[in-house]
Structure 1
Amino acid sequence: MRDTLVINCGSSSIKFALIHPQSQTTVVSGLAEKLNETGPLLTVKTARGKETLPLAEQGHAEAMHGILHALESLNLLQDVAAVGHRIVHGGEYFHSATRVNDEVLKAIEACIPLAPLHNPVNLLGLQAALEAFPDLPHVVVFDTAFHQTMPEHAYRYAVPAELYRDHGVRRYGFHGTSHQYVTMKAAEMLGKPLEETCFVSAHLGNGCSITAVKGGQSTDTSMGLTPLEGLVMGTRSGDVDPNLHLFLHQTLGLSIEQITDLLNKKSGLLGLSELSNDCRELEQARLAGHTGASLALEVFCYRLAKYVAAMAVPLGRLDALIFTGGIGENSRFVREKTLSHLGILGLRLDPERNAGLVGGQSGPITLEGGTPALVVGTNEELMIALQTEKVLT
C-alpha cells in the first residue's frame, strides 16, 4: 500500500496528513482553518518548511479541493492510495475502522443525536473528500470504537433500561485512537506483549479522558454519552451533580441550552481560574500568585488522581500509568502534582526524569523499583493511517 491521506474535520477547520504506513512517517501535513469565516487559510508543512496560502472560497468542500491541489503541486497526489477519516461518534454500530459505503454514511448520520456538535461536521468533511477523491477507497475510524470492548456493567447508566434500549443512552467514551496508540507504544517501551499488559492511559489536552486498558482492550473510561463526563478539562466541567441543571434553571433562570453551553465552554480550567483554559498560562499565573490559577490546577490534578485510582479497579493490577496529549506530554507540574496523590499505587516521581520529558519526548518519569509512570507522545493521525491500511489489506 502506498500513502494514506488522513482527514480530521472540525467545524471550522480540516487537519490533514499524508502518511506512509509501512515506515510510519509523515510525508506532509497541514491545516485548513477559518472555514466559513473571513479569510480562510491553508497551511502546508513539509520537510522543507511551512507555507500558508489563502483559500479562494470559505467552505469545507473548497478546503478539500485546496488540499488536493496542494498535494498535486508537491507531486504527491499520485502517491495517495486511500483516505482515512476521524469520526467522533460511531454509537454501537461500529466496533472497528470500516470502509465507507452508503450504509456506513447512514449509520454515521444516525449517530448525530449522540454527537450533534461533531458528527455533522465530520460527515461534511467526509462527503467533501468523497467528491474530491472519488476513485480512492475511504475508511472511517471512530473515537468511540476502541471502547466498544467495555463490559455492560461499565457502560450502562443506572437510569430506566428503556432509555438504553430505545435511545442508546449509555457510556461510549472518546479519544479511542489516542488511547489505543499510546498503550501499544507503552507495551513496546516496557518490552511486554500488549495482550499481557494492564495500563491506565490519561489523554490530557483541552479535552481530557482516562481509560483502563487490559490486554490492549478498553475496559472502562471516563467520558460517557458525550465528551462532557469525567475529568476536569480546558473549558468542560467534567463530572458534576446531575441536578445542577435544575438548580441553575430554578436559581438563575437558565435554559437547558444555556446550561449545556456553560458546562461545555465556560467551565473546567477556564471557569475555575477565571483566567484561561491554557495550562501553560495557568502554571505561569500560579507562580505569580494567582489564586484562581492555583485552585484550577489543584482541582485538575486531584480529580485526575482519583480517576487513576478508580481505573485500577477493572485492571486488577497496574503495569504503568501513561501521560499523553498536550498537557500530559508537556506539563511537568501536572504530572508531579498528580503523582503526589498516588503513592498508594506505588507511583514515585523521579524529578530529574520528569523535568527532562517535554516537547514530544517519551520515557519513564518515576523511580526504579515502583510502578512506572510513562510519558508517551500520541499520534492519532498515524493510528488512523494504520487502521485504514488494516481495513484495506
Structure 2
Amino acid sequence: MDMFMDIISRPQGILLIITIVLALGFDYINGFHDAANSIATIVTTKVLTPFQAVVWAAFFNFIAYFISLYVIGEFKIGNTIAKSVNENFINLEVILAGLVAAILWNLATWKLGIPSSSSHTLLGGFMGAAVAHAGALMVDGQDVINYAKVVPTFLFIFGAPLLGMFVAYLITVSILWICRKANPHRAEVWFKRLQLVSSALFSLGHGGNDAQKVMGIIGAAVIFYHVNVDFDPQYLAEGVNKFDVFVEHWWWVPLASFLFIGLGTLSGGWKIVKTMGSKITKVTPLEGVAAETAGAVTLYVTEHLGIPVSTTHTITGSIIGVGITKRISAVRWGVTISLLWAWILTIPVSALIAMGVYHIVMLF
C-alpha cells in the first residue's frame, strides 16, 4: 500500500497506473479476440456448446499461470517482450502509445472477423512507438529495436504455422493408420471425448503464451519507473536481472495477466470462431484432436524457447495440416491467403498506428 501511495503521488506514477490498466484491458481484449483459437474446432464439432467451450478454455487460460510459475519456473516470453526494445528508448509514453495502437488494431480485426495476431499487434505497437520516440531506427550507434529478441519472433510468423501444419499432418496420418480398423461410430465418440483434452492443452498454451506478453509490457513500464523516476537501488544494482526483480516485487501482475486473459476468453469471439472452425476446412472430432494437439505442442516448444508466437497463426497452420491429409483442395486457400496478408501487415500497421498515437500523446 505504501508503494502504491508513493506511485500515485507523482505524475509519472499516475501515468504508470494508467499504462497498467490499459495493458490489462488489452489482455482482456486479447482473450475474447483469440478465444476462437482454442474453441473453434470443439464448437464446430459440437462437442461443447459455445458457452461451455469458453468456460472450459477460460479456466485453462488461468491455470496456465501455475504451470508457468511452478512447472516451467519462469516467464521467458514476458522477459522477451520486455526486452524487445532497447531500454534507453523506452518511457511510459512509448508504452502507452504502443498499447493504444494494439488495442485499436485488435478491436478493428475482431470487428471484421479477421484472426490476426494479438502478439504481433502488441510487439508492432511497442516497436513503432519506440522508433517514433527515438526519431530513427539507430541513435548514436545504438539500435532502438533489440533485434536478437525480435528477429526470432518475425521468423516464427511463418515458422509457427508451418510447424503446426507439419505436426498436425503427422498426428492425423498416425491416428488414421492406428484407427484404420476401428468402428467409425465408436471412434467418433472417443475422439469427441479426447477433444476435451486437446482443447484444454491448447488453452493452457494460449494462456501461457499470450498472458506473458502483457506481463512483459507492464514489466517494461515498471522497470522504467523504478530506474528513472524513483531510482530504486534494487533495479540499479550492477548485474541484476531487472525483469526478475519486477516479477518478485510485483507478483500480482503475472496473476492478473492470466486472470484477465481468462475473463476475456469468457466473452467469446464468435465471428472468428466461424472463420477458424469452418471456413478454412471442415473439421471432424478426430481432426479437431489432431489440430489442437499439434497447436499445443507448437506453443509449448516456443514457450520453452522463449519465443512469443501467435496462437492464431499456430492453430491456423494446424487446421491446414489436418485439411491436406484429405486432399490439397480440402483447404480453402483463398481464405488462407487472406489470413496470410493479415499476418504480414499486422506488425507494420500496428507500428504505424503507434507512431501516430505517440505524437498525439506527446501533445499533452
Question: TM-score under structure 2 normalisation?
Answer: 0.25
Q: Which structure's residues are more often helix, by fraction?
A: 2
Structure scoring higher RCO (CA < 8 A, sep ≥ 6) equals 2
Q: Which structure's residues are more often strand, by fraction?
A: 1
